[in-house]
A and B are shown apart, each in its own frame.
Chain A
Amino acid sequence: MPNSKSTEFINGAKATIPLIIGAIPFGIIFGTLAEPSGLSILGAMAMSLFVFAGSSQFIAIGLMASGVGPLVIIATTFVVNLRHLLYATALVDKVSHLSQGWRAVLSFGLTDESFAAVNSRYLGRTDTAHAHWFFLGSIVAMYSNWQLCTWLGIGLGELFPDMTHWGLDFAMSVTFLGIIIPYLRNKPMWLAVISAAAFALMLRELPNQLGLMIAALSGICIGYASQRIELRIQVTKATTKASKEHNT
Chain B
Amino acid sequence: MNEALMIAGMALTTFFVRYIMFAMAGRIRFPAWLNQSLTFVPPVVLMAIIAPLVLMPKGVLDLSFSNPYFWAALAAAGVGFWRQHLLTTIVVGMVSFVVFKGIIG
- Give a binary string over B1-28; 1 marks a CB under 8 Å from any A CB, 0 the rest: 0111111111101110111111111100
Q: Which residue of A is nearest B29, CB measured?
A: A89
Main secondary structure of the interface of A (DSSP, over half): helix
Stretch in A72-80, A151-159, A234-242 with 4+ CB within 8 Å of B: A72-80
Of B3, B40, B61, B101, the residue contacting A40 (CB under 8 A) is B3
In chain B, residues 58-92, which have Cβ atoms closer than 8 Å to a Cβ of chain A?
59, 61, 68-69, 72-73, 76-77, 80-81, 84, 86-87, 89-91
Using a CB-CB cutoff of 8 Å, which residues 32-57 of chain B contact chain A? 33, 35-56
A contacts with B, residue count (CB < 8 A) = 88
Question: What is the bound-complex CA distance between A198 and B76, given in angstroms?
Answer: 20
Q: How many residue pairs bridge A and B at CB < 8 Å? A: 254
Q: Are B21 and A85 in contact (CB under 8 A)?
A: yes
In the complex, are the beta carbons of A201 and B52 less than 8 A apart?
Answer: yes
Residue A55 at the chain B interface, CB threshold 8 Å:
yes
Residue with the highest number of chain A CB atoms closer than 10 Å, among B24, B40, B53: B40
Give A179's nearest chain B residue, CB to CB: B46
Kindly list chain A residues whose C-beta atoms are within 8 Å of the C-beta of B56: 201, 204
**Residues of A with C-beta under 8 A to B3:** 39-40, 43
A-B contact pairs, 21 of them (CB 8 A): A43-B3, A43-B4, A50-B8, A60-B6, A73-B6, A77-B9, A77-B14, A86-B42, A92-B25, A108-B15, A167-B68, A167-B97, A170-B53, A170-B69, A174-B72, A177-B93, A180-B42, A180-B43, A197-B55, A200-B48, A204-B59
- The 8 A-B pairs of least Cβ separation, nearest first, read A18-B87, A174-B93, A88-B21, A70-B6, A197-B51, A219-B44, A96-B25, A74-B9
Interface residues of B (CB under 8 A from A): 2-11, 13-15, 17-26, 30, 33, 35-56, 59, 61, 68-69, 72-73, 76-77, 80-81, 84, 86-87, 89-91, 93-94, 97, 101
